[in-house]
Amino acid sequence: MLVAVDLGGTNVKVLLARPDGVVLDSAVMPWVTVDDVDGLVHLLESAGARLSAVRAIAITGGRHRRLPSLLGDTPIVHVDELTAIGRGGLIAAGVERALVMSMGTGTAMVAAGPEGVWHLGGTAVGGGTVLGLARLLLGTVDPEEIGRLAEAGDPRHVDRSVGDIVGGSIGIVPADMPASHFGRVAQPSFEGPVAREDIAAGLMELVGQSVGRLGLMAARAHGFDLLVVTGHAVEWAGIRAALNRVSGLFGGRIVVPLQPGLATARGALAVLVAQDEPMHRG
């Protein structure tokens, strides 16, 4: 059995796979510090891995560089996180070339294709932004609760639209697009109150549109016609809806693959499979 671990800033993802890379099982657990062997062993056991059956481990993200290259006699392959993001995004989307944006706690952007993977930057806006602001504004950091609230809300009750400010569309931006996230509640004439559902929907719109616009502009600037968005944050329906609105505005193509939160772990697994096969053939 092969194991791939992605030490994210909010969640830890573990894949259990056959030697050919076919995933047998997966686990997503709340963030824990894994910077020594004991922590790694506990993590693997919690994910259901039988250590005696593990042939090799790929690990990326977090503090993976603090871990040794062996767990007993089992090799630990350290995979650069940007490589894992890029390869995982391409594999998950089933494409050969794209700008891959991993929307986790924050957001990283990498260009990926046959020529390799290279870093394009990112933004501190991401899923952690939604969770942090939800704690302050809604009193919860439960992702499922936040998602349910957002799906029942309407961001237009907290945002100011382009039409609100200029009376119609402007340039390429239609009148109903936000001109100022949460700008409606900043108006002197605003009386409130605001429903929790509308606040949650506004948070999704703020983060999804901000990240989506950045990704599409970066893709266009670097000659990519496809933006692949991975990471657990994009599992929220409100984030996906905001990305779709931005895609329609800028004319870019955005793909969100199945199980986007596991994509980086899949990239690490692909690196491990490529290294493991020749080693065991020899």
Q: What is the 3-state secondary structure (H, E, C) of 81-121?
A: HHHHHHHHHHHHHCCCCEEEEEECCCEEEEEEECCEEEEEE
Residue 214, both tokens: 């950045």
Q: Are strands 116-123 and 23-30 parallel, antiparallel or unpaired?
A: unpaired
pLDDT at 40 over 50: yes
3-state SS, residue 216 = helix
Per the structure, the complete domain to which residue 74 belongs is given by 2-80+263-281
Angle between helices 143-152 and 196-221 (to 10 degrees): 100
Q: Is the peptide bond before 193 cis (omega within 30 degrees of 0)?
A: yes
Domain membership of residue 223 (yes or no) is yes
Domain membership of residue 236 (yes or no) is yes
Ramachandran bin of 99, using left for φ above 0, alpha for ψ from -120 to 50, beta for the remaining angles: beta
CATH number at residue 178: 3.30.420.40
Domain membership of residue 181 (yes or no) is yes
pLDDT at 282 over 50: no
Statement: the pTM of the whole predicted model exceeds 0.95: no
Domain membership of residue 173 (yes or no) is yes
Expressed in angstroms, the distance from the first to the final Cα of the chain is 18
Note the pLDDT of residue 50: 86
230-268, pLDDT tens digit by residue?
Answer: 999 999 999 999 999 999 888 889 999 999 999 999 999
Same domain, 243 and 276: no
96-129, pLDDT tens digit by residue?
Answer: 999 999 999 999 999 999 999 999 999 999 999 9
Question: Would you tell me how many other CB atoms lie within 10 Å of the CB of residue 143?
Answer: 18
Same domain, 249 and 268: no
Mean pLDDT, range 44-71, rounded to an integer: 88
Domain membership of residue 88 (yes or no) is no
pLDDT at 271 over 60: yes
**Locus of tokens 């004439």:** 189
200-216, pLDDT tens digit by residue?
Answer: 999 999 999 999 999 99
Residue 5, both tokens: 């671990």
CA-wise closest residue to 83 among 269, 279, 253, 224: 269
The domain tally of the chain equals: 2
Instruction: Report how far residue 195's alpha carbon sits from residue 126's, in angstroms, rounded to the nearest whole number.
Output: 23
Residue 168, both tokens: 């119609």
Same domain, 193 and 238: yes
Instruction: Report how far residue 273's alpha carbon sits from residue 68's, in angstroms, rounded to the nearest whole number.
Output: 19
Same domain, 184 and 63: no
Q: Band of the pLDDT at 68, cuts 50, 70, 90?
A: confident
